[in-house]
Structure formats: structure tokens, C-alpha cells
Amino acid sequence: MHDRPPSQIAESIEVIAFDVFGTVVDWHQSIAREVDAMQLTVGGDEFALAWRAGYRPAMQKVMSGELGWTRIDDLHRLILDELLQRFGIVHLNEAQKRHLNRVWHRLAAWPDSVQGLTRLKSRYTICTLSNGNLGLLTNMAKRAGLPWDCILSAEVFRKYKPDPAVYRELAAIFDLAPERVMLAAAHQDDLAAARACGLQTAYIERPAEFGPNNLKDVSPDPANTLHARDIGDLAGQLGC
Amino acid sequence: MHDRPPSQIAESIEVIAFDVFGTVVDWHQSIAREVDAMQLTVGGDEFALAWRAGYRPAMQKVMSGELGWTRIDDLHRLILDELLQRFGIVHLNEAQKRHLNRVWHRLAAWPDSVQGLTRLKSRYTICTLSNGNLGLLTNMAKRAGLPWDCILSAEVFRKYKPDPAVYRELAAIFDLAPERVMLAAAHQDDLAAARACGLQTAYIERPAEFGPNNLKDVSPDPANTLHARDIGDLAGQLGC
């Protein structure tokens, strides 16, 4: 993974930015549970996967300029309306649709997240670096008890990850050289984009991100600075 | 001040945004203390007042378009360089100037701030709405223990208060009608601008903002929703 001793890595960084959906919170189970409780014509697992699958194409429309700047809340709603139609769900009123769309504000943290972040916060500045909008991330943090020092979002930069501007401006916000900042994420493509901008990177294993029946590959990529089982393990590796 | 009972006001808001310099932290005493300790040719009180006096004209240059978007850290440095020249202080090296400029990241909270904010946080989403930049506000919060749910800054909006866009976009970030948001500040002009955009407002008395020898008028303006002695008093009035 790296040839430097862990203590040297630990000393070289000041800020750890976290991807959120999948890395800090369990979107799949949170959504599946709420959808199952609604007793729709479609199961929660299928609905959650379909909703998330619409996410990249929707952001791509913003990144390509086809859509002007649009918050994730609104992209989630566009996808939701499409899914309700696809699955023939016609009985929800506007308030119910709005409530369902805000399930993304109510995602539950992975069991290790709050304690792991709290340990890291004792030594580092910890922040989000998410494509989720600021209101969503704030509501989520308050509900789940995520102890961020600062909430940063694509909304601040008006660019979605993996646009390089997002990673560069993150370092600029803290007036730090990029190598003093680490991105922690459960997605290798996010980490690769951060690395290309000079950030250090930590991969967080979340094998059940897409549900327990859909385990994903969590093999290490030697290009990352660190590889951690979960956020608690990351804290341990960094001596927190 | 208002004709509604306090419990009705308390129920009508979801987010309380705070001005920071002067309202939550004591810039005058924090800066005066550090400057006095440096034993320069100028006293800390005078230096602090002169630095702060350069703040509005510097922001005005950004607001008028004379300067492109510039963070407060950089505006503070422009003013600092001018003051060092004005007071004939020539012995500081670059690292010392940089350290002194970051005194704005090290401002101490007023004695009631941390406890008052913590009480308010139990019921409301609390955030900053400051012209200070995100890195500055994050460093300050971490050092002073300010328990923000979210740090919002002019840097997010690329407009300085009292530009109306700042107050409007604050409400939009949380997807709330403006009247569901309250601005708390020790400055009537900031509150007036927020009110013009439909926000509720709370004035916080900080008579010693400009130092104990320079007490300011803290008379109530009946246009504000609430008038509070300090942040603890605001929490009490809102039933927290």
C-alpha cells in the first residue's frame, strides 16, 4: 500500500475528507427498509438499487451541461418520479413523495462511523466531501450524530465529483498543499480522481454497500495511501 | 419587540444562523491580547480597532467589483500589510506575518457562546452565516469548541453580507421558507438586511465588541423578532 511508516503518514495530513453515501452511511439498507415498510409493489432492495443506479446518469446531465446546476435533492426527485412510473406506483400524494425523497436525509450511519469519526476528530479536521447537497448532509449529520468539523459538498463548488476542481478547491479551502489532505472513500474511482490532484487516499471497505445479497469487491488498490476495513480501523492506523 | 408569544416564535423556526465576528467570538480582545504580547510599537487595542476598521472597505472593493472574489483571510492580510507599514513595524518575517494574520482563526468565544449554542442545537439546526472564509470558521470552531451543525460562509455564495443573495440562499440551502430561518447577530445592519429577505431576526447584545473602553449602543430595535442579552438568553427565550 505504502512504504512510509504509519506514523509518518499520520503526521503528514491535517484534514480528512470523507465521501458519504456508502462510505459513512448505509444508503441501501436505509432505503430498502423504508420502502419495504411502505408495502409497495416493488421490494425495498430492488427499489434502492434502481434509485442509486439513476444517480450517475442524472449527475452526468449536470456535468455535461444538459442540465444547469441541480442539487442532489432535485436529481433524486427526478429519478424517483421515473421509478414510481416504472413500477406503476400511482397512489402517493405530493407530501408522501416529498417525504420519501428525503429518505436520503435519513440514511443510517454504518455501525463504526460515529465512533471512528469521533476518534479521528480528536487529531484531524474531518469534513464531508460529498455530491450530496448541504441541507441533506446537515440533516443527515444531525440525525445520525456524525461529528463533522465542516460540511463540504459539490454544492459549494458547483461541480460534482470526480471533477478535479472539487478536490483542488477542498485543499484550497484549508489553505493546504493537496498532500496534507486525505480523502477516505469506499469507491476507487473517487480516490483515483483525488490522487490525480495530489491528495492522499484511504479506501474504506464496505462490502455490503449494495446490500447483503450483492457483495462488492473490496480488494486493495496499492495506489492508495491506506486501506481500511472500516472507519474505526482507519482511526487505529492513524494512531487515533 | 414582537406581539407573538415566545413559544409561537420558537415553533416557527427550524434553523438559526449566527453572525460570528463580534456575535459569537470576541475579536477585539483576542487580537489585542496577541498584539500586546508581541510588544510592538502600537497597543493591542488600537491595532485591533484599526484592523477591523479596514474590513468593510476591503469587502466593499470585492462587492463593487474592483477586486475579484477574495477570501477574508486574504483581505485581512492586505489590511495587515498596510497597518504594519502605517505603524512602522518592519521586523516581522513572512512566517510571523502569516501567523499574526491567522489570529482571526484563533478568536476566543464570548463566555456564554459554547453553552448557549449547545442548548440551541438540541432543538434547532445551528449554523454560521459569516463573511469569514470556510477554513477560518472551521479552524475557529474546532479551537473554540463551537458546536455548529453546518458552517456557511460568504465563500459558499461568493457574495458578502449584506448582499440579499446571501440570506435568500441560506434559506434555499435548507429548502425552507425564509421565515423558518432566524439570523442572530450583534449588528443591526446585518439583521435589517436579513429581515428585508423575510428572515426572522434576533439581536445579541455585545456592548464590549470594540473593547471595554469603547462600549457600543445595544438598544433594542423593535423591528427584530427577539432581543437577547447574550446567546444563553436567546436559548432561554426560545425554551431551550
Q: Report the mean per-residue pLDDT for chain A.
A: 96
Does the beta-carbon distance from A150 to B173 stay under 8 Å? no
For residue A149, give Cα distances in angstroms to A181, B36, B108, B145.
Answer: 14, 31, 17, 10
The model carries a pTM of 0.96
- List the single residue in B137, B149, B156 with the smallest CB-CB distance to A138: B149
Q: Quick one: DSSP state of residue A193?
A: H
pLDDT, average across residues B53-62 = 94
Give all strands (DSSP E) within chain A, no chain letters.
Answer: 15-18, 25-26, 108-109, 125-130, 150-153, 181-185, 200-204, 226-228
For residues B116-142, give the mean pLDDT: 98
A128-147: b (≥16 Cβ within 10 Å) or e: bbbbbbbbbbbbbbbebebe
The verdict on a CB contact (< 8 Å) between A175 and B73 is yes
Q: Which chain A residues in 78-107 lie under 8 Å from chain B, judged by CB atoms?
A: none
pLDDT in tens, B178-208: 999 999 999 999 999 999 999 999 999 999 9
Residue of A15, A122, A151, A169 for testing the chain B interface, max B β-carbons within 10 Å: A151
Question: Longest C-alpha distance within chain A, in Å?
Answer: 58
- Would strands A181-185 and A15-18 be described as parallel, antiparallel, or unpaired? parallel
pLDDT < 50: residue spans in chain A: none
Identify the closest residue of chain B to A154 by CA–CA distance: B156
Say yes or no for a CB contact (<8 Å) between B150 and A173: no
Q: Which residues contact A98 (CB under 8 A, 6 or more apart)?
A: none
Residue pLDDT, tens place only, B44-57: 999 999 999 999 99
- For chain B, residues classed under CATH 3.40.50.1000 are 6-26+107-237
Q: Enter the CATH code of domain A6-26+108-237.
A: 3.40.50.1000
Report the pLDDT value the prediction gives residue A6, as an integer from 0 to 100: 85
Q: What is the pLDDT of residue A1?
A: 56
**What pLDDT, in 10s, does the model give residues B70-124?**
999 999 999 999 999 999 999 999 999 999 999 999 999 999 999 999 999 999 9
Amino acid (one-letter) located at B124:
Y
Distance CA B231, CA B237 (A): 10
Q: Would an 8 Å CB–CB cutoff place B154 in contact with chain A?
A: no
Tell me where in chain A the CATH 3.40.50.1000 domain(s) lie: 6-26+108-237
Q: Which CATH architecture has domain B6-26+107-237?
A: 3-Layer(aba) Sandwich (3.40)
Contacts of A133 in chain B (CB under 8 A): 173
Confidence of residue B35 (pLDDT cuts 50, 70, 90): very high
Say yes or no for a CB contact (<8 Å) between A125 and B134.
no
Helix (H, G, I), strand (E, B) or coil at A15: strand
Which residues in chain A are classed under CATH 1.10.150.240? Answer: 28-105
**CA of A72: which chain B residue's CA is closest?**
B173
Q: Do B134 and A152 touch (CB under 8 A)?
A: yes
B28-105: CATH class: mainly alpha
Q: What is the ipTM of this complex?
A: 0.95
Q: Are A237 and A225 in contact (CB under 8 A)?
A: no
Q: How far apart are CA B94 and CA B87, in angstroms?
A: 17
Task: Please choose, from the candidates B139, B24, B22, B173, the residue with its C-alpha nearest in 3D space to the C-alpha of residue A173.
Answer: B139
